[in-house]
Structure 1
Amino acid sequence: MTKAYWIVHVSVHDPERYPEYLTAAMPVFEKFGAHFVVRGGAYQVMEGSERERNFVIEFRDHATAVACYQSPEYQAAVRIRQKYSDADLIIIDGPA
């Protein structure tokens, strides 16, 4: 079974309120067995534009990664996140 990953880039424009998103999202990540491979850290932009927060989140498979994103609980968290930040998020399969 091939693992799948969320690759997420976030620009926070209200850092005081952004933790509301984390409070809502973290239990959802736990429920779906998400593992943070990259969470923040130093980075260097080589091409393209940047966002100051970068994450790689591992899931056991593509279906689980999509189910997490589409879950009602995570969609509630997304609505919170969108108030306080802008993000790019893709789901990508790992190597077979």
Structure 2
Amino acid sequence: MTAYWINFFTRISDPDRVAAYAALAGPAMRAAGGRFLARGEPAHTFEGGTSCRTTLIEFDSVEAAVAAYHSPDYQEALRVLGDAAERDLRIIPAVDPAH
């Protein structure tokens, strides 16, 4: 079942390192089968929503998303990112359309 990788950048202290991370992370996600659905700053936030850079990536399964996280290419992107940002990253399964 489809799964979604949702990444919130809750703090960015070094935008240049975040850009270097993104240059590596994007190709790593696509190589692992990820499809970018949305990324950037929110157009609007409601009900206590935090205005922070967000990325939404679709994968064929939770397992594929988790494998992408652990892939050598993505781990290299994380090494480059280091402590340049704090993030809240989660992988969630899609809703079963039959329910």
* SS state at 2:15 partner: coil
Percent identity over the alignment? 36
Residues in 2 aligned to 1:35 and 1:22: alpha-carbon distance in whole angstroms: 14
The 1:51–1:81 alpha-carbon spacing in structure 2 relative to 1, beyond 3 Å, is farther
Gaps of 5+ in 2: none
List gaps (5 residues or longer) in structure 1: none
The residue identity in structure 2 corresponding to 1:32 is: A
Deviation at residue 17 of structure 1 after TM alignment: 2.7
Secondary structure in 1 matching 2:82: helix
The 2-side partners of 1:22 and 1:71 are apart by 15
Pairs within 5 Å for 1:7-86 = 7-10=6-9, 11-40=11-40, 41-47=42-48, 50=50, 52-86=52-86
Please, what TM-score do these two structures have when normalized by structure 1?
A: 0.85
Give, in whole Å, the separation in 1 of the partners of 2:5 and 2:68: 10
Contact 2:8-2:89 within 8 A present in 1 as well: yes
How much has 1:14 moved relative to structure 2?
Answer: 1.0
> What is the aligned-residue RMSD (CA, Å)?
1.7
The code of the aligned residue for 2:71 comes to S
Matched, 1:5 2:4: yes
Q: Which amino acid in the other structure matches residue 5 of structure 1? A: Y
Measured in 1, the distance between the counterparts of 2:86 and 2:46 equals: 18
Aligned residues: 94
The CA distance in 1 between the partners of 2:56 and 2:7, in whole Å, is 6
